[in-house]
Structure 1
C-alpha cells in the first residue's frame, strides 16, 4: 500500500461524506457513480484500493470536491462553484430550480443553521407574496437579464409564469423549514424601494393601481417579518406560528451593511454562498475560507442588536424605520 497516498485518499472521501444528504449512504453513491460493486467501493473508501485519476475526476465533479485543496495546491486560492443566469441557456425557472435545490439540500440536514447577511431583502422573502414575486421576476428579466422579449413591456401585477410561481412557493416553504439567523440593516429595503421608484418614474407600471399595490405589499411583508422576529419562528405569510416551526433570529447591525452572503453550518461541514451580478451565487466548501467567514459572522452578531422575543423597544424602532422608508417613497406618487 502507498502510505503517502492513503491520507489524501481518506480525506477525499471524508469531504465527499460531509457533503452527502442524510438520507444517502457513501458506499451506495460511490458504487453508483463509479459503476462498481459495493465491496469495491468500500475498498476505495477505506484506502485499500487506490482510486484512479478517472475516478477522482468523476467523484470530484459530482460532489464538487476540490482536488487542489487536498493536494495543497496554491494555499492562497479557493475553489468556488456556481451557475450563471443568462438569456441564452439559463432561463429564470432553471435558476429558481437551482436555488430550490440548495435549500432542499440544507433541509436534508436537520441540524443545519443558515446565516444571511442581508444587503437586500433575503431572497426567499421576495417570494412570500405572489405579487411581489411577480415584480421581482419582471425586474430581473427586464432590467438584469435583459430578455429581448421584455423590451418595451410594462409591469402588470397579475402576470407571473406558472412554473416560476410554483418554484417560488416551494422555495419559501423550504426556506421556512430551515433555522435561520438574518443580519439586517435599515438600508436592506432600499434597493427594492428604488426599483419600484425607478419603474414608477420610467412609467413601466401598467397602471397606478399596480404601483400603489406594491407599496401596500412591501408594508405587509415588513409587518410579517416583524411578527416572525417577535415570536422567533418562521411561518408562511398570512399564517400563524405553531410549535415545532424552524427558529428565526433577526439582528440589526448599524455599522455594516451585509453583502447578501449566505452561510450554512451543517455541523460536520460548512458552505459559503457569495452573491455576485445581482442574482448569481458561487459557493465553496473550503474549510479555511468558511472558518474565516464564520468568525466574521460571529463578530457581526456580537456587534448587532437582536430583534427577537423580549427586545420590544429595539424591534419596534427598527421596523418603524423600515415602514417610514416605504411611507416616504409612497408620498411622491
Structure 2
C-alpha cells in the first residue's frame, strides 16, 4: 500500500510539472520506451515502477527523490543557476528569464508575486537608454566583464542592440502574467544610486546622458503609476492589449523587501530567492512554500492596496518617489555646473 501511495504521488507530481497541452502518458511512454498500455498500468499503480525507471524519469524532469519520498524532513531543496562565468553570461541570464516566463505562461492559472527591494528589471526595459545603462552597470560592476573594466557609459556607443529581440520577447510574455507587487519607498533607491555613483565616478561620459537617465527613470515611474491606476500591465509604447494581465500594487512602508519572487502555477507553488544580485534559486518544497505564502498573505493584509483603489495613497506614494528622482537630477545638474567652472585637473575623475 505504501508503494502504491508513493507511486500515485510520484505521477501526480509529474503531471503538475507538464504544460496543459502535453500528455503525461505519452511523455512517460516515450521516455521509458514502453507501450501506452504499460504506462497506464504504472500510473494507475497496477504495475510497480522500478528504481531504474524512477531514475530516468527524475533526471528528465529534474526533480528530487528526497523531496518526493520525504527522506529528510528538515531539508529544503532548491534548483537554479549559480554564477555563470562564460563570455556570454549576460545574454544567458536574459535567455533564462525568457525560459522561465515561457514556463509560467504554459499554465492556465498563473500568478506571480514580488516582495521588492528594487524595482523589477522588466520596467527598465521599456526605456531604451535606461535599459542600456542597466545592462552596462550589471556587466561592468556585477558580472565583471573584462572589456568593460576601463569603459564609461556612452549612449553614442551602440553595443547592446543584440539584446533588443530578447527584451521584446521577455516583455511580451511578462505582460501576460497576473502580478502582485509589494513596494516600499526605498524600491527606487538602487537605480538612483547606480546613476548617482557612476556620475560621481566619471563613468557616464556625457552629462546630458545622465540627465536623460533621470528623465527616463521618471517616465518609468509614471508608467508604473498608470498601471496601478488602471490595474493592468502594458507596454507604454503600445497600450493595453486584449491579453494584458491584471496588476496589483501594494505599499508597505514598514517592511523593506528582499526581491523574493513567488509563483502559483496551477497546483504548484514555487519560491525564488535572490542571490548574487542578479540570480535566483527556486524551490517547490511544500514546507517552504506553505511558510512563504503564509508570510506573504500576512504581509499583504498589513499593506495598503494602491492599484485601482486608494487614489489618494497612490498619488502620495508616487509623488514621494518622483521627488527622490528630481533631487538626483538637481544634484547631477549642480555637479555638472561645478565641473564646468573647475580647472582641468579638478574635472578629471577616475574612469
Which interval holds the TM-score relative to the shorter structure?
over 0.9
Match of 1:197?
A: 196
Match of 2:119?
A: 121
1:261 to 1:146, Cα distance in 2 relative to 1, 3 A: same
More displaced 10-residue stretch of structure 1: 273-282 or 58-67:
58-67
1:52 to 1:157, Cα distance in 2 relative to 1, 3 A: farther
Contact 2:127 2:216 in 1 (8 A): yes
Contact 2:83 2:276 in 1 (8 A): no
More displaced 10-residue stretch of structure 1: 214-223 or 260-269:
260-269
Contact 2:248 2:305 in 1 (8 A): yes
Match of 1:251?
A: 250
Contact 1:233 1:241 in 2 (8 A): yes
**1:74 aligns with one of 72, 75, 81:** 72
Distance in 2 (alpha carbons) for counterparts of 1:61 and 1:328: 53
Contact 1:84 1:90 in 2 (8 A): no
Match of 1:185?
A: 184
- Matched length: 331
TM-score normalised by structure 2 residue count: 0.90
- Secondary structure in 2 aligned to 1:332? helix
In the TM superposition, what whole-angstrom CA distance separates every residue of 1:207-253 from its partner, at most 9, and x where no partner exists? 11211111011000000000000000011023333455210000001
Match of 2:105?
A: 107
Match of 1:176?
A: 175
**2:41 aligns with one of 40, 43, 47:** 43
Where do 1:120-139 residues align within 5 Å?
A: 120-139=118-137
Contact 2:108 2:266 in 1 (8 A): no
Distance in 2 (alpha carbons) for counterparts of 1:46 and 1:124: 44
Contact 2:273 2:282 in 1 (8 A): yes
1:58 and 2:41 aligned = no
Match of 2:6?
A: 8
Distance in 1 (alpha carbons) for counterparts of 2:39 and 2:76: 29
Match of 2:234?
A: 235
Match of 2:338?
A: none
Contact 1:87 1:146 in 2 (8 A): no
1:95 and 2:90 aligned = no
Contact 2:112 2:264 in 1 (8 A): yes
1:156 and 2:173 aligned = no
Match of 1:17?
A: 15
Deviation at 1:89, TM superposition (A): 6.5
In the TM superposition, what whole-angstrom CA distance separates every residue of 1:269-299 from its partner, at most 9, and x where no partner exists? 1111111110000111111211111111111
Contact 1:92 1:164 in 2 (8 A): no
Deviation at 1:161, TM superposition (A): 3.0
Larger radius of gyration, structure 1 or 2?
2
- Secondary structure in 2 aligned to 1:216? helix
In the TM superposition, what whole-angstrom CA distance separates every residue of 1:30-78 from its partner, at most 9, and x where no partner exists? 2233233322322222223322333222322332322112222221111
Structure 2 alignment gaps of length 5 or more: 333-351
Structure 1 alignment gaps of length 5 or more: none
TM-score normalised by structure 1 residue count: 0.94
Match of 2:81?
A: 83
1:41 to 1:89, Cα distance in 2 relative to 1, 3 A: farther
- Secondary structure in 1 aligned to 2:196? helix
1:184 to 1:26, Cα distance in 2 relative to 1, 3 A: same
Contact 2:274 2:281 in 1 (8 A): yes
Distance in 2 (alpha carbons) for counterparts of 1:58 and 1:258: 39
Distance in 2 (alpha carbons) for counterparts of 1:40 and 1:50: 10
